[in-house]
């Protein structure tokens, strides 16, 4: 018997993007709508939670109309509603969750709750197909984790950051260098024009799979302060390049150690910082060296979007892992397992 196609309407509102998608069989994006609030939060140098939740409320029905129009579908035609419930900003998550519960109730569709980080990981299925067992490097604004996945939803966290996440470090360095929020892409642009002249230390060169970026961030701040005291002009391009070189070297070193020790055959990356071309190129070289199959998600699926939530909801749908309304509540911090 031919397998029936499964359509999931997915909702993501954990931070400053209101997004909905319709995803077929966990891998085909039928339609994606993303409304970003970046231009508003830019004015404040970072995401203002109260403004974020208010803006989600204002646009969520517009985003719903938009995605249905793009897909040329009705809510009646989807098989389930999926929504991000954690981790993220409580007020922001709440808007997506209430919308998902409302749609589930009105249209009598099962509700699937999805962990945002699982979403970033499953974004890989929208571009390639995750092959298990695989190592997963999660690099986002809130996370820096090296995860071993032997199967769907089997997350063994090998290492994590002891302080700042890598995206957070990029954002803070951007601020010190006078660049706008979100800093990551701006620091990457600066770095491209610079040279690694500052030779900043590579953080946490130990035997663990953990990461640390706050010391490196302090080194950048020290360099800026030294220049200010000497009334010298800071070379932003070179400092950005030096920061990026050390930060990414520490990540790539830990990935190399894991590839060797675990005899890894497959490697996937996830999260906003996976859009960074320097990191992508370093990982391409690393995986070439050890003959490891590398999956890089398309750029649109690296940063927050609902298509990744639809992809992550699919294995849960197949297991009929549905949730009652009482069971779907926002949580600000939540580990993967």
Name the residue nearer to ligand KG4 (CB basis): 238 or 276. 276
Instruction: Give the single-character DSSP code of 301.
Output: G
Partner whose footprint covers residue 87, from ligand KG4, Zn ion, none (CB < 5 to 8 Å by kind): none
304 binds ligand KG4 (CB under 6 A): yes
Helix (H, G, I), strand (E, B) or coil at 14: coil
CA distance 83 to 172: 30
Partner whose footprint covers residue 9, from Zn ion, ligand KG4, none (CB < 5 to 8 Å by kind): none
170 binds ligand KG4 (CB under 6 A): yes
- Judging by beta carbons within 10 Å of its beta carbon (0-12, 13-18, 19+), is residue 300 exposed, middle or buried? middle
Name the residue nearer to ligand KG4 (CB basis): 194 or 271. 271
Of 5-24, which residues contact ligand KG4 (CB under 6 A)? Answer: 15
Partner whose footprint covers residue 170, from Zn ion, ligand KG4, none (CB < 5 to 8 Å by kind): ligand KG4
Partner whose footprint covers residue 188, from ligand KG4, Zn ion, none (CB < 5 to 8 Å by kind): ligand KG4
Q: Could you tell me which residues come within 8 angstroms of residue 21 by beta carbon, excluding any fewer than 6 positions away?
A: 9, 10, 12, 29, 30, 31, 32, 33, 67, 305, 306, 307, 309, 310
Q: Count the neighbouring beta carbons within 10 Å of the beta carbon of residue 163.
A: 16
304 binds Zn ion (CB under 5 A): yes
275 binds ligand KG4 (CB under 6 A): yes
Q: Could you tell me which residues come within 8 angstroms of residue 183 by beta carbon, excluding any fewer than 6 positions away?
A: 170, 171, 172, 173, 174, 175
Q: Of 192, 210, 212, give the one whose Cα is nearest residue 202.
A: 212
Part of the chain binding ligand KG4 (CB under 6 A), chosen from 37-45, 49-57, 152-160, 268-276: 268-276
Name the residue nearer to ligand KG4 (CB basis): 181 or 198. 181
Of 128-187, which residues contact Zn ion (CB under 5 A)? Answer: 140
CA distance 31 to 291: 35
Partner whose footprint covers residue 183, from Zn ion, ligand KG4, none (CB < 5 to 8 Å by kind): ligand KG4
Which residue in the shown chain puts its C-beta closest to Zn ion? 304
Of 60-119, which residues contact ligand KG4 (CB under 6 A)? Answer: none
Part of the chain binding Zn ion (CB under 5 A), chosen from 59-67, 121-129, 181-189, 298-306: 298-306
| Candidate list 182, 194, 315, 330; residue touching ligand KG4; CB under 6 A | 182
283 binds ligand KG4 (CB under 6 A): no
Q: Could you tell me which residues come within 8 angstroms of residue 262 by beta carbon, excluding any fewer than 6 positions away?
A: 135, 148
Which token pair is 223? 């360099």
Which token pair is 319? 């297991």
134 binds ligand KG4 (CB under 6 A): no
DSSP sequence for 128-185? S---SSEEEEEESSS-EEEEEESSTT-EEEEEEBSS--HHHHHHHHHHHTTPPSSHHH
CA distance 197 to 208: 28
167 binds ligand KG4 (CB under 6 A): yes
- The nearest distance, CB 276 to ligand KG4, in angstroms, is 3
Of 234-293, which residues contact Zn ion (CB under 5 A)? Answer: none
184 binds ligand KG4 (CB under 6 A): yes
Q: Which residues bind ligand KG4 (CB under 6 A)?
A: 15, 120, 140-142, 167, 170-171, 182-185, 188, 271-273, 275-276, 303-304
Query: Which residues bind to Zn ion, rule: CB under 5 A?
Result: 140, 304
């Amino acid at each position: 018997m031919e397998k029936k196609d499964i359509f999931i309407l997915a909702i993501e509102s954990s931070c400053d993007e209101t997004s909905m998608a319709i995803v077929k069989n966990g891998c085909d994006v039928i339609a994606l709508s993303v409304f970003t609030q970046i231009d508003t939060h830019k004015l404040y140098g970072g995401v203002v939670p109260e403004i974020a939740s208010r803006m989600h409320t204002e646009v969520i029905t517009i985003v719903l109309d938009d995605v249905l129009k793009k897909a040329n579908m009705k809510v009646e035609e989807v098989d389930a509603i999926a929504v991000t419930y954690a981790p993220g900003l409580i007020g922001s998550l709440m808007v997506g969750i209430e919308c998902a519960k409302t749609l589930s109730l009105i249209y009598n569709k099962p509700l699937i709750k999805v962990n945002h980080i699982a979403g970033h990981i499953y974004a890989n299925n929208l571009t390639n197909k995750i092959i298990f067992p695989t190592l997963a490097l999660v690099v986002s604004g809130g996370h820096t984790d090296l995860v071993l996945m032997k199967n769907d939803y089997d997350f063994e966290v090998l290492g994590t950051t002891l302080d700042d996440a890598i995206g957070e470090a990029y954002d803070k360095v951007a601020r010190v260098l006078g660049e706008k929020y979100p800093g990551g892409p701006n620091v990457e642009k600066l770095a491209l024009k610079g040279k690694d002249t500052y030779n900043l230390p590579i953080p946490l060169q130990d035997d663990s799979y953990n990461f640390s970026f706050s010391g490196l961030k302090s080194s950048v701040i020290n360099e800026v302060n030294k220049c200010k005291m000497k009334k010298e002009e800071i070379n932003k391009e070179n400092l950005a390049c030096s920061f990026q070189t050390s930060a990414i070297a520490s990540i790539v070193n830990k990935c190399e150690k894991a590839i060797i020790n675990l005899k890894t055959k497959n490697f996937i990356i996830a999260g906003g910082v996976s859009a960074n071309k320097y990191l992508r190129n370093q990982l391409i070289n690393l995986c070439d060296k050890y003959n490891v199959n590398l999956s890089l998600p398309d750029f649109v699926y690296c940063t927050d979007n609902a298509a990744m939530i639809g992809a992550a909801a699919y294995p849960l749908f197949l297991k009929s892992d549905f949730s009652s309304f009482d069971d779907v509540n926002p949580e600000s911090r939540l580990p993967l397992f």
